[in-house]
């Protein structure tokens, strides 16, 4: 028995060693062949050139015109448009014949504060009031309201569709296995790629923005809600059944109350996803703060982008805190432990009346209807940021440029040269072999299909540029993740300091990360990489830290008692045992990085993201942008599957 | 032997015919888990050892041709080790698990032929169950947990709370009505489970290892609680356990299960005195026999020259209780049933039972 195990061990070691040698071999061969063949068959396509496929996509618009599909989407679009107009006239845009919205800033602020008080308690009510005040003080009241309107309309639709689906999924295994792959796919896609195809169906404008936001934000509430329903203890369900509870009673009296907290967590995630998508949807003319950021980024107005971005950050923090607190409080409220129910009713009625007074004032006094221009925090803040940015570029130029050049010359250029300047067949072969070595046959098959799709889009070289950028960013992310992950996992004080920062960072819509990166590095490839690294690092760090923390303390203790040094404990026990966690971090980090690299097209990242952006702005490039979207999907699936299969194989060892 | 058999506390049952007034009657009940499990029932494959059957067909026979009757107000204990099928058996009784074959008669009505709604009615009013892991609703106060069965039946809030309060008092939880389950100890949570089961005023109560998750000391208290409640409310009870002591303590009769099949059905004393096979013998070998055995199982046939001056006792007297009297008397105990002398107990026989457990 022992000899057998030892034998198996040896075989495994041989396999492991062989795998790294194989990888190295593939790389060396790739570099050697590249040296000979570089520049040939790179399938480069000039900016204005179109392939037949792309032209066909360009004409898709005409072909769809007059079909039943557009009739259906037209109805949806009109309904949403009506709803949005109504809501916007209520809180953000002038409601004819009034020169101001139906409810002015004081009214909205009062109602929002009251709602936060009702669901999340008075501390969060204060936070909400302060946040709404901040929107106005920063000079973006109307834009903030527009963003909230788009976000909450989308959230409402998400809940309307999502909660019944979550219940259905939670109660049926068959529905679960039917829906899960769809949800997986929607969550793998970068937010960006939904935009162009949807404009085909819904045009551009607020309704399309809502639809795209719904699609993006639907998955969390379904997935988490279903998980909540499914997690209800089987003993309780059996006990309920044994007492003659019918299906509807089980749902109403057992499953929904017991899953309430988890469902609200799902709502929180959906709200945050909706906010981040509603910002990006500015690219298809969603009104609100996102638009301000896009315009400012486009004109490299760092200060303006920063102030608008700050308003988004404030909104994100507020929404996250309030919904998280609501989930935590839901239990207490149901138990009526904090406040006596009758007292609560009185308090809510009293504060509600106060809020209505606010609404009344805001309807009849201009000062409370339109947010006053003074005091204005936004303009000085924007100027200060502009000054700082100019100062940094003037005085620290060598430093920022040095960093940018070092990464560019050391990592980006060589990698991009290897991946994008090799003939397509060489890169394909190399990627296939790497995929096979890392993830096995199934991974290799997916890779082959995805590469085929990319070739078909006619955007091979742009895709390879994007791939190279992504790989550079993920390398940086993983370096950060390992360093900080280890620090957090091994030091609880560091954990308590760093983790809240990471949590907050994860809440931000990806868009806002472009702003500081732009301020430091202007519009270059490197800016997108910096933004991607900042965006992806928090999730990767947390996953690595959790992986290391989950290593059994007994094993660590055993290693320490055997006289291992700190480094030996890390390298021989903690890191190897946290392999799955690290793999997961790489997988998630990669998807985050990728989605950001694509958005980076806005600030000079080039590649596929840039093509998508051009697709919005130039009609004749619409098809090309659409093709770029398809290539992005293919790349995302390829990277996701490759890392997932590699992780599964690593876990099996 | 023949003399004792006539005076069994409960009648022995033969397969096929049920006792007319039984509260619960089970005939040839099968449960086979796995693909096409129903086809295994009664086939020669059913007699294969479990691992072999699993390998060959992917099926597991959880309950195998089980028959028994439970008299009204009887405490009937089903005992077996984990995997013996006892929990599946109790769930088949109200079709929480659908049986593969056989009949379950509750007050003469066939449970297996019931429609969905009739079955729900049965569960709401007729049979209630207490679970090993309590199965309480964590988001409801004790009082609302206890009232749950009445609530889903549509009883008004006032009425069901009154009834629930009665039950809370009955199980000794007065003062905890407005606590939530997670604020109670395990033993108290199970009292809530008991109260909930009692609140619907069922005729039959099913207990699925209700005390296995509790500490030994609390377990003993809860067992006494069940005995007390049984004396007060007199419900028919089917009690599942893997603990022989618990079975002997609570059961009027015990059904011993192994690999899904019945090994033996009998009173506690009978199971200890006359184990059906080595499996049961092994099981009961650690039992304090003097606390379980009755004189019926230690007496011998009376002989003409036996002393007629010894103290008189019933055949159902437990050995330990008889020992003191017997040892104080110079004459052997006389066992009398219906004014007929049916046996004599020598001091030797008593000592053998008492001393055997010392060694």
Partner-chain contact A246 B122, CB within 8 Å = no
Output the six-digit token pair for A121.
Answer: 């308690």
**Residues of chain B with C-beta less than 8 angstroms from the C-beta of A334:** 139
The structure tokens 């479990």 sit at B50
pLDDT at B359: 46
Q: How distant is the Cα of B313 from the closest Cα of chain A, in angstroms?
A: 45
- What is the rounded CA–CA span in Å between residue A232 and residue A155? 25
Give DSSP secondary structure letters for B30-73. EEEESTTGGGGTTSGGGGS-HHHHHHHHS-EEEEEEEEEEE-TT
pLDDT at A123: 92
User: In this structure, are residues A385 and A303 in contact, taking their beta carbons and an 8 Å threshold?
Assistant: yes
User: In this structure, are residues A257 and B137 in contact, taking their beta carbons and an 8 Å threshold?
Assistant: yes
Partner-chain contact A246 B152, CB within 8 Å = yes
For chain B, state the CA radius of gyration.
23
The separation between the first and the last C-alpha atoms of chain A, rounded to the nearest angstrom, is 19
Q: What letter does residue B311 receive in the DSSP assignment?
A: P
- Is residue A317 classed exposed, middle or buried when 0-12, 13-18 and 19+ CB atoms within 10 A define those classes? middle
Helix, coil or strand: residue B274: coil
pLDDT at A10: 52
User: In this structure, are residues A274 and A319 in contact, taking their beta carbons and an 8 Å threshold?
Assistant: no
- What is the rounded CA–CA span in Å between residue A128 and residue A351? 15
Q: Give CA torsion, residues B283, B287, B291, B295, to 10 deg.
A: 50
Helix, coil or strand: residue B28: strand
Partner-chain contact A242 B129, CB within 8 Å = yes
**Stronger pLDDT, B111 or B346, i.e. the higher one:** B111
Order of strands across the sheet that contains B101-106:
B60-70, B24-33, B101-106, B109-110
ipTM: 0.78
Partner-chain contact A235 B131, CB within 8 Å = yes
pLDDT at A78: 92
The chain A residue lying nearest B178, using CA atoms, is A335
Is the peptide bond prior to A591 cis by the omega test (within 30 degrees of 0)? no
Q: Which residues have CB under 8 Å from B105's CB, separation 6+?
A: B18, B22, B24, B25, B26, B27, B111
The structure tokens 């980076």 sit at A600
**Residues of chain A with C-beta less than 8 angstroms from the C-beta of B200:** 243
A243, A254, A257 member nearest B149 (Cβ)? A243
pLDDT tens-digit map of A565-587? 888 888 888 888 888 888 888 88
A235, A257, A334 member nearest B135 (Cβ)? A235
Partner-chain contact B135 A239, CB within 8 Å = yes
Q: Which residues have CB under 8 Å from A122's CB, separation 6+?
A: none
pLDDT tens-digit map of B132-154? 988 899 888 999 999 999 998 88
pLDDT tens-digit map of B52-89? 888 888 888 899 999 999 999 999 999 988 888 999 99
**Residues of chain B with C-beta less than 8 angstroms from the C-beta of A258:** 137-139
Output the six-digit token pair for A435.
Answer: 């995929």
The structure tokens 């059994």 sit at A552
> Buried b vs exposed e over A382-412: b needs ≥16 C-beta within 10 Å?
beebbeebeebbeeeeeebbeebeebbeebb
- What is the rounded CA–CA span in Å between residue A606 and residue A602? 8
**Residues of chain A with C-beta less than 8 angstroms from the C-beta of B131:** 235, 238-239, 242
The chain A residue lying nearest B136, using CA atoms, is A236
| Whole-prediction pTM | 0.81
How far, in whole angstroms, is CA B192 from its chain's centroid? Answer: 21
Output the six-digit token pair for A265.
Answer: 């967590």
**Residues of chain A with C-beta less than 8 angstroms from the C-beta of B115:** none
Site from B133, B139, B151, B155 to mutate, A interface, most A CB atoms within 10 angstroms: B139
Partner-chain contact B136 A236, CB within 8 Å = yes
Q: Which residues have CB under 8 Å from A193's CB, separation 6+?
A: A598, A612, A629, A632, A633, A636
Q: How big is the CA angle at B40 (ends B38 and B42), to the nearest 5 degrees?
A: 105
Output the six-digit token pair for A302.
Answer: 């760092």
Partner-chain contact B139 A334, CB within 8 Å = yes
A–B: how many Cβ contacts below 8 A? 73
A238, A249, A254 member nearest B131 (Cβ)? A238
User: In this structure, are residues A406 and A609 in contact, taking their beta carbons and an 8 Å threshold?
Assistant: no
Q: Which residues have CB under 8 Å from A238's CB, separation 6+?
A: B91, B96, B131, B135
Strand pairing class (B253-258; B261-266): antiparallel
For chain A, state the CA radius of gyration.
27
Give DSSP secondary structure letters for A135-171. HHHTT-HHHHHHHHHHHHHHHHHHHHHHHHHHHHHHH
**Residues of chain A with C-beta less than 8 angstroms from the C-beta of B140:** 257
pLDDT tens-digit map of A334-378? 776 656 778 888 888 999 999 999 888 888 888 888 888 878 888
Partner-chain contact A334 B94, CB within 8 Å = no
- Is residue A37 classed exposed, middle or buried when 0-12, 13-18 and 19+ CB atoms within 10 A define those classes? middle
**Residues of chain A with C-beta less than 8 angstroms from the C-beta of B122:** 244
pLDDT at A489: 87
Partner-chain contact B135 A334, CB within 8 Å = no
**Residues of chain A with C-beta less than 8 angstroms from the C-beta of B120:** 244, 246
Alpha carbon of A331 to those of A120, A164, A169, A272, A327: distances in Å?
11, 21, 24, 22, 8
The chain B residue lying nearest A239, using CA atoms, is B135
- What is the rounded CA–CA span in Å between residue B295 and residue B9? 13
Phi-psi region of B73 (alpha: psi -120 to 50; beta: other; left: phi over 0): left
- What is the rounded CA–CA span in Å between residue A632 and residue A613? 13
Partner-chain contact A245 B152, CB within 8 Å = yes
Q: How big is the CA angle at B76 (ends B72 and B79), to the nearest 5 degrees?
A: 165
Residue among A484, A469, A470, A594 nearest A540 (CA): A484
Bridge partners (DSSP) listed for residue B103: B27
B96, B134, B137 member nearest A242 (Cβ)? B96
The chain A residue lying nearest B198, using CA atoms, is A243
pLDDT at A409: 85
How far, in whole angstroms, is CA B18 from its chain's centroid? Answer: 18
Partner-chain contact A242 B94, CB within 8 Å = yes
Partner-chain contact B137 A254, CB within 8 Å = yes
With a cut of 50, which residues of chain A have pLDDT below it?
1-5
User: In this structure, are residues B246 and B252 in contact, taking their beta carbons and an 8 Å threshold?
Assistant: no
Q: Give CA torsion, residues A198, A204, A205, A206, to 10 deg.
A: 0
The chain B residue lying nearest A258, using CA atoms, is B139
Site from A228, A238, A244, A329 to mutate, B interface, most B CB atoms within 10 angstroms: A244
Q: Which residues have CB under 8 Å from A232's CB, separation 6+?
A: A254, A255, A258, A259
Phi-psi region of B88 (alpha: psi -120 to 50; beta: other; left: phi over 0): alpha
Query: Would the pLDDT of B358 be above 70?
Result: no
Residue among A435, A421, A420 nearest A638 (CA): A435
Report the mean per-residue pLDDT for chain B: 85
**Residues of chain A with C-beta less than 8 angstroms from the C-beta of B93:** none
Q: How distant is the Cα of A122 from the closest Cα of chain B, in angstroms?
A: 24
**Residues of chain A with C-beta less than 8 angstroms from the C-beta of B155:** none
**Residues of chain A with C-beta less than 8 angstroms from the C-beta of B128:** 242-243
**Residues of chain A with C-beta less than 8 angstroms from the C-beta of B190:** none
pLDDT at A514: 84
Q: What letter does residue A193 receive in the DSSP assignment?
A: G
User: Which ranges of A172-288 would DSSP assign to H, the alpha helix?
Assistant: 173-188, 195-202, 206-230, 234-242, 247-249, 256-280
Output the six-digit token pair for A531.
Answer: 């933004």
Partner-chain contact B180 A335, CB within 8 Å = yes
Alpha carbon of A598 to those of A347, A631, A636, B53, B323: distances in Å?
49, 11, 11, 57, 91
Q: Which residues have CB under 8 Å from A62's CB, separation 6+?
A: none
- What is the rounded CA–CA span in Å between residue A616 and residue A62? 17
Partner-chain contact A242 B121, CB within 8 Å = no
- What is the rounded CA–CA span in Å between residue A193 and residue A200? 13
User: In this structure, are residues A275 and A152 in contact, taking their beta carbons and an 8 Å threshold?
Assistant: no
Output the six-digit token pair for B58.
Answer: 């992917």
Partner-chain contact B131 A254, CB within 8 Å = no
**Residues of chain A with C-beta less than 8 angstroms from the C-beta of B125:** 244
Lowest mean pLDDT among A407-421, B94-108, B180-194: A407-421
- What is Dmax (Cα atoms) for chain B? 72
pLDDT at B10: 41
């Amino acid at each position: 028995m022992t000899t057998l195990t030892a034998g198996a061990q040896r075989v495994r070691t041989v396999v492991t060693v062989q795998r790294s040698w194989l990888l190295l071999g593939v790389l060396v061969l790739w570099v050697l062949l590249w040296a000979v063949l570089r520049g040939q068959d790179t399938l480069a396509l000039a900016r204005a050139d179109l392939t037949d496929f792309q032209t066909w996509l360009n004409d898709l618009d005409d072909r769809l015109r007059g079909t039943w599909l557009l009739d259906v989407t037209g109805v949806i679009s009109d309904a949403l448009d009506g709803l949005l107009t109504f809501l916007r006239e209520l809180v953000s845009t002038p409601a004819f014949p009034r020169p101001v919205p139906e409810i002015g800033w004081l009214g909205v602020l009062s109602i929002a504060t009251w709602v936060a008080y009702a669901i999340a308690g008075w501390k969060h009510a204060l936070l909400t009031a302060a946040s709404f005040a901040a929107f106005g003080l920063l000079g973006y009241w109307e834009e903030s309201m527009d963003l909230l309107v788009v976000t909450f309309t989308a959230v409402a639709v998400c809940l309307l569709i999502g909660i019944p689906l979550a219940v259905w999924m939670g109660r049926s295994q068959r529905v679960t296995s039917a829906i899960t792959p769809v949800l997986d796919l929607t969550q793998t896609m970068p937010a960006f790629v939904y935009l162009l195809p949807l404009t085909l169906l819904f045009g551009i404008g607020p309704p399309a923005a809502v639809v795209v936001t719904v699609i993006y934000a639907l998955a969390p509430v379904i997935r988490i809600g279903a998980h909540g329903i499914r997690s209800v203890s089987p003993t309780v369900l059996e006990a309920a059944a044994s007492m003659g509870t019918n299906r509807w009673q089980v749902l109403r009296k057992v499953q929904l109350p017991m899953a309430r907290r988890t469902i609200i967590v799902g709502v929180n995630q959906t709200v945050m996803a909706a906010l981040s998508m509603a910002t990006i949807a500015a690219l298809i003319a969603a009104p609100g703060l996102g638009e301000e950021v896009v315009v400012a980024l486009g004109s490299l107005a760092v200060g303006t982008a920063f102030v608008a971005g700050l308003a988004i950050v404030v909104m994100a923090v507020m929404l996250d805190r309030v919904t998280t607190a609501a989930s935590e409080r839901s239990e207490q409220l149901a138990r009526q432990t904090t406040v006596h129910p009758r007292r609560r009713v009185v308090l809510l009625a009293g504060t509600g009346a106060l809020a209505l007074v606010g609404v009344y004032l805001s309807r009849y006094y201009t000062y409370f209807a339109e947010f006053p221009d003074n005091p204005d925090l936004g303009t000085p803040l924007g100027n200060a940021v502009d000054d700082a940015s100019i100062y940094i570029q003037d005085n620290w130029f060598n430093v920022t440029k040095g960093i940018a050049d070092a990464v560019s010359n050391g990592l980006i250029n060589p990698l991009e040269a290897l991946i994008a300047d090799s003939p397509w067949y060489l890169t394909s072969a190399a990627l296939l072999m790497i995929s096979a070595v890392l993830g096995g046959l199934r991974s290799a098959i997916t890779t082959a299909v995805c590469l085929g799709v990319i070739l078909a889009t006619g955007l091979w070289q742009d895709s390879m540029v994007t791939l190279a950028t992504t790989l550079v960013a993920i390398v940086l992310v993983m370096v950060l993740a390992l360093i900080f992950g280890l620090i957090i996992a091994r030091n609880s004080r560091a954990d308590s300091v760093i983790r809240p920062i990471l949590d907050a960072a994860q809440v931000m819509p990806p868009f806002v990360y472009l702003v500081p990166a732009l301020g430091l590095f202007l519009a270059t490839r490197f800016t997108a990489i910096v933004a991607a690294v900042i965006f992806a690092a928090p999730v990767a760090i947390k996953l690595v830290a959790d992986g290391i923390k989950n290593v059994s303390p007994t094993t660590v203790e055993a290693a320490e008692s055997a006289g291992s040094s700190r480094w030996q404990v890390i390298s021989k026990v903690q890191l190897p045992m946290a392999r799955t966690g690290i793999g997961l971090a790489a997988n998630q980090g990669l998807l985050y990085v990728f989605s950001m690299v694509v958005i980076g097209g806005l600030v000079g990242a080039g590649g596929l993201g840039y093509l998508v952006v051009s697709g919005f702005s130039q009609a004749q490039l619409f098809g090309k942008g659409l093709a770029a979207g398809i290539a992005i999907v293919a790349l995302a699936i390829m990277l996701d599957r490759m890392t997932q299969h590699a992780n599964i194989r690593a876990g099996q060892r | 032997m023949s003399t004792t058999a006539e005076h069994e506390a409960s009648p022995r049952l033969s397969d096929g015919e049920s006792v007319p007034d039984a509260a619960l009657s089970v005939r040839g009940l099968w449960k086979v888990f796995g693909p096409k499990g129903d086809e295994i029932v009664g086939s020669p494959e059913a007699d294969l050892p479990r691992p072999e059957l699993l390998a060959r067909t992917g099926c597991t026979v959880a309950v195998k041709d089980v028959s028994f009757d439970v008299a009204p107000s009887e405490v009937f204990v089903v005992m077996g080790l984990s995997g013996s099928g006892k929990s599946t058996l109790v769930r088949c009784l109200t079709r929480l698990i659908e049986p593969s074959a056989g009949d379950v008669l509750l007050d003469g009505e066939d449970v297996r032929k019931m429609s969905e709604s009739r079955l729900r009615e049965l569960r709401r009013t007729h049979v209630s169950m207490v679970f090993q892991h309590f199965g309480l609703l964590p988001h409801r106060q004790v009082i609302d947990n206890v009232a749950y069965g009445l609530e889903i039946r549509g009883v008004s809030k006032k009425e069901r709370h009154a009834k629930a309060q009665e039950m809370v008092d009955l199980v000794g939880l007065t003062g905890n009505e407005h606590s939530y389950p997670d604020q109670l100890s395990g033993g108290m949570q199970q009292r809530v489970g008991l109260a909930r089961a009692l609140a619907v005023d069922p005729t039959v109560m099913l207990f699925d290892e209700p005390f296995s998750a509790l500490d030994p000391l609390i377990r003993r208290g809860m067992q006494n609680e069940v005995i007390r409640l049984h004396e007060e409310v007199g419900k028919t009870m089917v009690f599942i356990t893997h603990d022989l002591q618990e079975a002997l303590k609570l059961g009027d009769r015990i059904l011993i299960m192994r690999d899904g099949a019945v090994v033996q059905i009998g009173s506690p004393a009978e199971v200890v005195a006359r184990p059906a096979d080595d499996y049961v013998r092994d099981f009961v070998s650690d039992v304090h026999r003097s606390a379980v055995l009755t004189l019926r199982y230690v007496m011998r046939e009376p002989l003409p020259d036996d002393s007629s001056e010894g103290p008189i006792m019933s055949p159902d007297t437990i050995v330990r209780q008889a020992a003191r009297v017997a040892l104080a008397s110079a004459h052997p105990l006389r066992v009398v049933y219906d004014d007929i002398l049916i046996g004599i107990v020598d001091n030797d026989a008593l000592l053998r039972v008492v001393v055997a457990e010392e060694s």
